[in-house]
């Protein structure tokens, strides 16, 4: 084997650092997305929890000023935001396979979702085989980076929609409440 071929079969130090940085950034951004979803979930659950007793105790005023529509918008907005936030927080990317990965399968040994159901000995053998084959190793690392980025993109898209729905619904509810209270007395 020539030196040139030997050098091509391994990742260079720069490539390893770039991959490591990209994975670390994606994991940190995933944590940020999960935290944002958690905040939206908590805020909207609190709003519904606090809104229920206020509505029950003030039904006469709500009927008098026709505030049912703004309240309905607020509740629907909160429920939709909670739903989308839960979608962001649901673990994904594993658990779809009922059986352990066959030895010849190209599932990444670096993602727990691919091996959590394997027997210890099977995993060890599979891992040693993948590490021994640099082409498979490179493929698994880039595949993991791709799927991590794909899931992050899905989470960020859902978070963006959750914030939009929350903002539109929240302000529509406030504006309608103001209109009904001051202009339709």
Task: Report pLDDT digits (tens) over 73-107.
Answer: 999 999 999 999 999 999 886 655 444 444 445 57
CA distances, 32 to each of 39, 47, 127, 149, 165 (Å): 11, 22, 31, 14, 19
Mean pLDDT of the chain: 86
pLDDT in the model for residue 137: 82
Token duo for residue 107: 């599932």
CB 145 within 8 A of CB 22: yes
pLDDT in the model for residue 54: 94
Q: How many CB atoms lie within 10 A of CB 142?
A: 12
Token duo for residue 78: 């909160």
What share of the chain in percent tops pLDDT 90? 57
pLDDT in the model for residue 93: 67
More confident residue, 134 or 119: 119
pTM: 0.80
> What contacts 33, CB < 8 A, 6 or more positions away?
88, 152, 155, 156, 159
Give the confidence band of 56 by pLDDT, cuts at 50, 70, 90. very high
When mean pLDDT is compared across 46-60, 93-107, 155-169, the lowest value belongs to 93-107
């Amino acid at each position: 084997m020539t030196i040139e071929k030997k050098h091509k079969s391994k990742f260079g130090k720069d490539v390893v650092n770039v991959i490591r940085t990209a994975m670390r950034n994606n994991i940190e951004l995933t944590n940020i997305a999960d935290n944002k979803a958690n905040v939206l979930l908590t805020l909207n659950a609190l709003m519904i929890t606090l809104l229920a007793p206020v509505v029950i105790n003030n039904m006469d005023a709500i009927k008098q000023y026709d505030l049912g529509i703004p309240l309905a918008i607020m509740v629907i907005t909160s429920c939709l935001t909670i739903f989308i936030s839960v979608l962001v927080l649901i673990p994904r990317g594993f658990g779809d396979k009922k059986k352990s990965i066959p030895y010849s399968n190209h599932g990444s040994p670096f993602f727990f979702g691919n091996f959590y159901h394997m027997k210890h000995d099977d995993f060890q053998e599979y891992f040693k085989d993948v590490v021994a084959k640099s082409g498979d190793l490179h493929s698994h690392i880039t595949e993991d980076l791709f799927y991590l980025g794909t899931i992050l993109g899905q989470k960020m898209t859902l978070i963006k929609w959750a914030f939009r729905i929350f903002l539109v619904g929240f302000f529509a509810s406030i504006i309608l409440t103001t209109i009904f209270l001051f202009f339709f007395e």
